[in-house]
Chains A and B, each alone.
Chain A
């Protein structure tokens, strides 16, 4: 079927639309001239920005007053659709809130979902989404059948965000219906984990550490190297699970997807779960004791050696510059 109307689940932090939102809007406007953003919150500060990236309209719920976006925004979306404004395709970011809204809405509409996708295209009457599986070495194309709306979640950085110079999006109020028992969860406090230096998913250089560091204290080497290179420190799931560093440091399938100019993997063997999150880096340097480690299969420069010997020398050399 042809795509007449596309919605994007939009997110705002610190008064601006997230990069992920702008990426999805950029893709949406290539599929349809009728692009609507749906936002759990107040749109007055971001309507211009959403319009600049392709949204002609934004439905906004206003302050959610502690309600979780999953139930609230999906409820608002269902009410709009029941009211007669039905999109053919809804794009979601593959993140915490995006997944929650997508999941709740899929039940309300009784529609399947497709997640972890990296592209979507309209080919005649077919709508095709592309999804990498098995750590990205196989690409699956899925064609939607039946009537829309089709619900798809995309990995971060699947599309480049480019402004179109469109006029500010027209703001329309979206009301959150009575959520009954499903609205029983409330946010009582918000904690922002302070980090200095660039954000992990935006940094030009990322230095990540893994189990090969041996013990939690050795992660300091990774942080020091990242700081010297004006980059961000990251981590494999193994050391996040072990409690060495917070979850927000995790690079991989269940963590952040990064695409820096340079990615340095120190003591990381390269589990599929990790590689999915970093194989998009332009240049990869790997340091690992085991020469059979899968990470060497994708590294531009691989050092078969002990991170405890290589990293201190590297840090000294960079300090001396």
Chain B
């Protein structure tokens, strides 16, 4: 069983986000790390390959500046190899172009029994790339999977819905997006971190993949205005002196909700 995991390397979410002044797209020029939400997909892939008793996990990622630090984290967890699509022409690409690029990278690896992505990234959170990729590759998909197993060559997943969840069966090959918390991601061991340094990561450009990079200019959208939203003001802040619950009661009374 071979599994491909799509990962995104993002600016540290602890740092405040910023827009590129020229294009009004998200700035991604600093140090990039593995998006937390992708660690779940990597872990799930490792567990599925393990359960199948053979195969390997590959990582694909797209980043404008040749950054591989986040991919190395995934390799340190146990993935075997990776493809990084790095091309200045891809800077500011929209979700559709990203999906086409990642789909082409998956094909360069010869496809897989299963492709896994997170439901959305923690920086741009458009949330459409996995399903767009499935459509580009002509694959069935199960998005928002919160429980996944392979049983007799069939994927069985619990898929999050507004009211609860659906049990879904899906033929392979397929693509799934997994929610945070679907499995507990392992921490890379020291041995894993050392081994990851020598694992192969092929760096390719969009044209190597036969994709015409549209970049921001080709996105069919243009940011025309960036404005500050009206900020919500802080109200009364009090230190609890043992009686502050009374403040809450009075507040609720004043609103006539109790």
Report yes or no: B238 in contact with A103, Cβ–Cβ below 8 A. Answer: no
Report yes or no: B131 in contact with A100, Cβ–Cβ below 8 A. Answer: yes
Report yes or no: A185 in contact with B168, Cβ–Cβ below 8 A. Answer: yes
Residues of B within 8 A of A300 (CB): 235-236, 251
Residues of B within 8 A of A191 (CB): 158, 164-167
* CB-contact partner of A248 in B159, B164, B169, under 8 A: B164
Binds B, one of A31-39, A46-54, A214-222, A291-299: A291-299
Report yes or no: A184 in contact with B234, Cβ–Cβ below 8 A. Answer: no
Report yes or no: B168 in contact with A96, Cβ–Cβ below 8 A. Answer: no
Q: How many residues from B make CB contacts under 8 Å with A? A: 80
Report yes or no: B140 in contact with A229, Cβ–Cβ below 8 A. Answer: no
Residues of B within 8 A of A317 (CB): 245-246, 249
What 0/1 readout, one digit per residue, does chain A (231-269) give for beta carbons within 8 Å of chain B? 000000100111100011000011000000110100000
A95-B162, A113-B95, A300-B235 known; A181-B139 Cβ under 8 A: yes
A101 CB to closest chain B CB (Å) equals 9
What 0/1 readout, one digit per residue, does chain B (1-20) give for beta carbons within 8 Å of chain A? 00000000000000011010
Report yes or no: A254 in contact with B180, Cβ–Cβ below 8 A. Answer: yes
Report yes or no: A139 in contact with B221, Cβ–Cβ below 8 A. Answer: no
Indicate whether B219 reaches chain A with its CB closer than 8 angstroms: yes
Report yes or no: A241 in contact with B181, Cβ–Cβ below 8 A. Answer: yes
Report yes or no: B174 in contact with A229, Cβ–Cβ below 8 A. Answer: no
Report yes or no: B128 in contact with A99, Cβ–Cβ below 8 A. Answer: yes
Indicate whether A197 reaches chain B with its CB closer than 8 angstroms: no
Where chain B touches its partner, the secondary structure class is: mixed
Binds A, one of B44-52, B119-127, B189-197: B119-127
Q: How many residues from A make CB contacts under 8 Å with B? A: 92
Q: In the complex, which residue of chain A has the Cβ closest to the Cβ of B222?
A: A143
Indicate whether A210 reaches chain B with its CB closer than 8 angstroms: no
Indicate whether A132 reaches chain B with its CB closer than 8 angstroms: yes
Residues of A within 8 A of B122 (CB): 273
Bound CA span A142–B224, Å: 6
* CB-contact partner of A321 in B139, B181, B231, B258, under 8 A: B258
Report yes or no: B166 in contact with A247, Cβ–Cβ below 8 A. Answer: no
A96-B143, A181-B139 known; A298-B232 Cβ under 8 A: yes
* CB-contact partner of A115 in B19, B127, B238, B248, under 8 A: B127
Indicate whether A144 reaches chain B with its CB closer than 8 angstroms: yes
Bound CA span A237–B94, Å: 27
Binds B, one of A83-91, A157-165, A170-178, A305-313: A305-313
Indicate whether A79 reaches chain B with its CB closer than 8 angstroms: no
A82 CB to closest chain B CB (Å) equals 16
Residues of A within 8 A of B235 (CB): 299-302
Report yes or no: B167 in contact with A189, Cβ–Cβ below 8 A. Answer: yes
Report yes or no: A145 in contact with B140, Cβ–Cβ below 8 A. Answer: no
Report yes or no: B220 in contact with A111, Cβ–Cβ below 8 A. Answer: yes
Bound CA span A140–B236, Å: 31
Indicate whether A70 reaches chain B with its CB closer than 8 angstroms: yes
Residues of A within 8 A of B22 (CB): none
* CB-contact partner of B160 in A96, A106, A180, A299, under 8 A: A96
Please list the 6 inter-chain residue pairs (A to B) with the smallest Cβ-Cβ separation, ordered nearest first.
A305-B240, A184-B140, A103-B131, A184-B171, A141-B225, A300-B235
User: A103-B130, A190-B164, A190-B166 are known contacts; what are 15 more A-B pairs with Cβ within 8 Å?
Assistant: A13-B162, A95-B162, A96-B143, A107-B96, A113-B94, A144-B220, A182-B135, A182-B139, A188-B169, A190-B161, A193-B164, A299-B237, A302-B238, A309-B240, A310-B244
5 A-B residue pairs with Cβ-Cβ distance under 8 Å, sorted by A, are A74-B135, A106-B96, A112-B95, A115-B95, A188-B167
